[in-house]
Amino acid sequence: MMLAIFLLATAFVPYERIYPETLDWDTHFRGTPDHNSQYAAVTSTIWQYGYTAKTRGNNLTIDFSFLGGVDANKSWVKRERISNRNTSKILLNHEQGHVYINFLLLKNGERILRNQQYTVQNYKRLVDKTAKELSKFYNNMQDRYDVETKHGSDLEAQERWNSFFESELSKL
């Protein structure tokens, strides 16, 4: 009896917001540091999409799937470069920005790919073209983020990006 009530109640739960992962050093940075790199940390993110298409005459149905997040085994930190709690906080905040950009790619990519107008003749080419454009746009954003913030060391630029992330994430 309680199970039936619980299932009925959960059917009416309003849309639940999905949030990006919140980084922490122990969980998300398990890779081996590149000691030849000048950087104190690297966050490796994943964005993948897939789809199955069914056609019946000129009728097309596409079912998309999306995956995004942090690849903890490729992300790393040079713990010896973190001298105190404040340094750790600043660096982790910067790395979190990379996760936010990846999350924007995941959510905006999903919205764009799902809502495009496809035909039986163009869907393969259009899905591929759009996914490549999305990847390029957000990869360029990742690069611009690092350049503008000087990999997190320019605190004013970092704060501008933090405001951008807050604004963009609030739209999702």
Instruction: Name the pTM for this structure.
Output: 0.88
pLDDT digits (tens, 9 = 90+) for 93-110: 999 999 999 999 999 999
- Residue 18's pLDDT band, with cuts at 50, 70 and 90, is low
Q: How far apart are CA 64 and CA 114, in angstroms?
A: 7
Strand partners, 60: 55
**Alpha-carbon separation of residue 142 from 43, 61, 139, 166 (angstroms):** 11, 33, 5, 16
Q: How far apart are CA 135 and CA 140, in angstroms?
A: 8
pLDDT digits (tens, 9 = 90+) for 25-42: 999 999 999 999 999 999
pLDDT digits (tens, 9 = 90+) for 46-68: 999 999 999 998 899 999 999 99
- Residue 19's pLDDT band, with cuts at 50, 70 and 90, is confident
